[in-house]
């Protein structure tokens, strides 16, 4: 029963932002930075273009005593939306799930901001930024939702991107550093 309750709370926590976005809530807050963040998220939700995500690889860099036993193939996928500003930079909302290091399902969702270089060679661009969101893992508090704030980088050619993040070792939480890679296609 406890496991079912924790999974229900996790799914609810990951889906709650979608319900708020669908409700058309105003972004009228007492603090300007909260209103600005809300407006960015609402703009992506209502005016953004759909994306498809395919996950693929988790490189366990160091600190893992059992590295050979860990799953590097993080197969999975999901969907999201992005909105591109006048300078070619993006606000992104995303949600996907993949097979984690122990072959268990790991959901993740959130907001990302990326700044891009000018296109070269017919549309090739490098991007960098951050994402904030929520994830949950079976081996960390049995799928209790965990907040995240991580850097992201990408290489984009026209509508296809190879994206990555670096997950640092946090003593008591994970054993080592991980580089995680996924792909995105913009519709």
**Residue pLDDT tens, the chain, 187 long:** 455 444 444 444 444 454 444 455 677 766 778 888 899 999 999 999 999 999 989 998 876 777 788 889 999 999 999 999 999 999 999 999 999 988 999 999 999 999 999 999 889 999 999 999 999 999 888 899 999 999 999 999 999 999 999 988 877 777 788 899 999 999 9
Q: Report pLDDT digits (tens) over 43-84.
A: 999 999 999 999 989 998 876 777 788 889 999 999 999 999
Active site residue 100: yes
Domains of the chain: 2-186 (2.40.160.20)
For residue 35, the model assigns a pLDDT of: 82
60 is catalytic: yes
Catalytic residue among 74, 101, 154, 161: 101
Q: Is the dihedral of CA 88, 92, 96, 101 positive or negative?
A: positive
Catalytic residue among 51, 100, 154, 161: 100
CA-based R_g, the chain, Å: 17
Which is catalytic among the residues 60, 82, 154, 161?
60
Taking phi first (over 0 means left), then psi (-120 to 50 degrees means alpha), and beta for anything else, what does residue 34 get?
A: alpha
By C-alpha distance, which of 106, 110, 101 is closest to 129? 110
* Spatial contact of 83 and 47, defined as CB atoms under 8 Å apart: yes
Phi, psi of 4 (to 5 degrees): -65, -40
């Amino acid at each position: 029963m406890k496991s079912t309750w924790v999974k229900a709370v996790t799914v609810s926590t990951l889906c709650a932002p979608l319900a708020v976005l669908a409700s058309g809530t105003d972004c009228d807050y007492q603090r300007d930075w909260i209103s600005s963040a809300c407006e960015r998220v609402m703009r992506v939700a209502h005016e953004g273009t759909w994306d498809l995500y395919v996950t693929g690889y988790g490189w366990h860099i160091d600190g893992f005593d059992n590295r050979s036993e860990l799953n590097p193939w993080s197969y999975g996928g999901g969907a999201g939306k992005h909105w591109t500003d006048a300078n070619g930079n993006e606000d992104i909302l995303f949600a996907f799930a993949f097979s984690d290091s122990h072959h268990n399902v790991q959901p993740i969702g959130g907001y990302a901001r990326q700044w891009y270089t000018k296109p070269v060679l017919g549309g090739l661009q490098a991007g960098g930024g951050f994402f904030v969101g929520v994830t949950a893992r079976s081996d960390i508090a049995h799928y209790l939702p965990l907040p995240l704030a991580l850097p992201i980088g990408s290489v984009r050619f026209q509508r296809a991107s190879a994206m990555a993040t670096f997950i640092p070792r946090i003593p008591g939480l994970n054993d080592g550093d991980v580089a995680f890679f996924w792909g995105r296609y913009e519709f």
